[in-house]
Structure 1
Amino acid sequence: MNIALLGYGKMGKTIEEIAINRGHEIVLKVEQDISNYKVEENKIDVAIDFSIPGAAFNNITTCFRKSIPVVCGTTGWLDHLDEAKEICLKNDSAFLYASNFSVGVNIFFELNKKLASMMQGMEDYSVNIEEIHHTQKLDAPSGTAITLANQIKEIGTHFKGWKLDKKEDHFIPIFAKREENVPGTHTVSYVSEIDSIEIKHTANSRLGFALGAVLAAEFLHNKKGIFSMKDVLSGLLQDNV
C-alpha cells in the first residue's frame, strides 16, 4: 500500500519503520498539519494520523474529501468525532478511530468490560483509573483511560461519567500522571476496606501501538464505512483459524 503519515513525531517514525518492513511505501509525510501539503489522492491508499489535537480534524476531513481512508490515533479532538464520521460517509470514504491501537490494550478493553460486569452490585468497592504517560503527551486523561471509563459507565448505570484527578459521587475518577520515558500504563482498580482488585496494562515500547496502526491500515484498505479495532481483531482471529 501507499501510506500517508499525518504526524511525523516519534510515533510516526515508528509506524514508518514497521510499514516499510511489512512491504508498504510511505508516499507522504506531514509534520503536523496537512494544510501546507499537496495531497494527490490517486497515490495514497490509506492515511494514518498521529498528529496533534489542533490539526487532527482538518487532516482527517481533508483526506475524506479526497476519498482517502483514514486510520486515526490522535486524541484530544473527539468533540468533533461525530462530525468527522458524517463527512467520511458523505464522501464515501472509510474511517477507523481508536484511542489505542495496541492489540494487547484491546484485549485489556475486553477484560475491563468483563470485570465491570462482574463488579455490578458490589457496593463495598469503589473504582478508579490511573494512567501514566511520557511528559510529551499533550492531553490528559489519555484516550485509552477515557475508553476504559466509558466502558465501565455503560455497564454501571449509576455512573454519570468521569472526572480528572478528583473523586466525586457517581463519577469515575481518572488520575493522570506524566513521567519521563513512559509509553503508557493503565490500571483499573476496585478498592474496598477488605481488599483490592486491579487489572493493568503496561506498554514496554511504542511498537505495539505502531504495529496495531499498520494492521488497521491494512484492514481499512479498499473498504468503505466506519470501523473500529474490534473489527481488525475479528479479522485477525479469522485469519488465524
Structure 2
Amino acid sequence: MTLRLGLFGKGRLGSAIAAEAGPALAWHAGRGETPDAGAGVANVVIDASVAEAVEAHLAWALETGTDLVIGTTGWSMPDLEARVAGRIGVLTASNFSLAVALMARMATVLGRFAALDPARDPYLAEHHHRLKADAPSGTAKTLAAALMAGCPRKTEWTLGAPAAHQLSLGVVRAGAEFGTHTVGLDAPAEVLELTHRARSRVPFAQGALAAAQWLHGRKGVFTMDDLAADLLDPLFVFGDRP
C-alpha cells in the first residue's frame, strides 16, 4: 500500500515537508484549518504547525483513527499516553533529522565516557536563526537529556554558571542559521566534540517522512529514539568479538 500523508502546518518546516512528500501528500492544512470533506484520505498525518494546535490535532487524529507524527516543540501533555490508549500510533519528535537521532545515541555514549573521570566535563551548545521561538530548542533539550543519561552526576541543565550536578548549555539566536548543535567534553589535556550542522530543512523533511513510514501500523506513543533503536542501532554492531 502506498502511504498517503496529511500535513498540518504551512510554515518553513511544513513547506519543506510538502515539497519532499510530492504526490504522496493527500492534503495540507494551515493554522486553524482542518481537512475539508473533499480532502483525500491520509494514512498518517504530520503536525508541523505550532504548539498551541497540538491538542486539537491530537483530538482530530483520535476521532478519525489516523496515526499522528508531532514535530512541533514547546508543548506539554503529561497524559498523552493515557489519551492515546493504544488507539492510534503517535510519534513525537523535537527534531526529525535521522542524523540528529544518531547523534543523540552517540551523546549518551559520550556521557558514559565522561562519567568515567570527574575531570571530563560534558557540555552542549546550539545556534539557530534569529526567528527561532524557543531557547534552548527542543533538540538541545533532547541532546542534553541524552548526555545526562550517560553521565549520572549531571542531573539537570543550566544556561548560567553550572553547579557540579548541572550540564552547561549555550544558546545563540542570530542570523539565518538553520541549526547547529555540538555536544562535547572538556578534559584537562583534550577536548572531544560531535557537531551536527543543518545546511537546509531537507534532512528534517526527509526524517519526518521516514517517521511517518515507520509509525504506520504501530499503536501507542513513540519518539524518534524508538525509531533510532529500530533503524540505527545496527550501525553500532561491529562484528563478533573474540
Q: TM-score range by the shorter chain?
A: 0.7 to 0.9
In structure 1, the gaps of 5 or more residues are none
Q: Is the 8 A contact 2:122 2:167 kept in 1?
A: yes
Of the three residues 130, 134, 154, the one matched with 2:129 is 134
Tell me how far 1:26 sits from its aligned partner.
3.0
Paired with 1:58 and 1:66, the residues of 2 have a C-alpha distance of 12
Paired with 1:103 and 1:58, the residues of 2 have a C-alpha distance of 27
Tell me how far 1:234 sits from its aligned partner.
5.5
Determine the structure 2 residue equivalent to 1:219: 214
Determine the structure 2 residue equivalent to 1:160: 155
Tell me how far 1:150 sits from its aligned partner.
0.9
Determine the structure 1 residue equivalent to 2:58: 60
Tell me how far 1:211 sits from its aligned partner.
0.2
Structure 1 stretch displaced more, 68-77 or 161-170: 161-170
SS at 1:43 equivalent: coil
Q: Percent identity?
A: 30
> Which digits, 9 at most, give the CA deviation of each residue in 1:143-170, with x for residues without a partner?
1111111122222222221123542331
Q: Is the 8 A contact 1:128 1:188 kept in 2?
A: yes
SS at 1:65 equivalent: helix
Paired with 2:155 and 2:105, the residues of 1 have a C-alpha distance of 21
Pair 1:174-2:149 in alignment: no
Of the three residues 43, 49, 70, the one matched with 2:41 is 43
Tell me how far 1:31 sits from its aligned partner.
2.0
SS at 2:10 equivalent: coil
- Residues 172/86 of structure 1: CA separation in 2 closer, same or farther (3 Å cut): same
What TM-score results when the alignment is normalised by the length of structure 2? 0.85
Aligned-pair RMSD on alpha carbons? 2.5
Paired amino acid for 2:198: A
> Which digits, 9 at most, give the CA deviation of each residue in 1:96-121, with x for residues without a partner?
11221111111111211111111213
Equivalent residue pairs, number: 232
Determine the structure 2 residue equivalent to 1:199: 194
Poorly superposed stretches of 4+, deviation over 6 Å: none
Determine the structure 1 residue equivalent to 2:82: 86
Paired with 2:162 and 2:110, the residues of 1 have a C-alpha distance of 21
Paired amino acid for 2:140: A
- Residues 212/232 of structure 1: CA separation in 2 closer, same or farther (3 Å cut): same
Of the three residues 95, 111, 116, the one matched with 1:116 is 111
Determine the structure 1 residue equivalent to 2:29: 30
Paired amino acid for 1:30: A
In structure 2, the gaps of 5 or more residues are 234-242
Paired with 1:19 and 1:60, the residues of 2 have a C-alpha distance of 21
Structure 1 stretch displaced more, 225-234 or 96-105: 225-234
Paired with 1:85 and 1:184, the residues of 2 have a C-alpha distance of 30
Paired with 1:172 and 1:61, the residues of 2 have a C-alpha distance of 36
What TM-score results when the alignment is normalised by the length of structure 1? 0.86
SS at 2:85 equivalent: helix
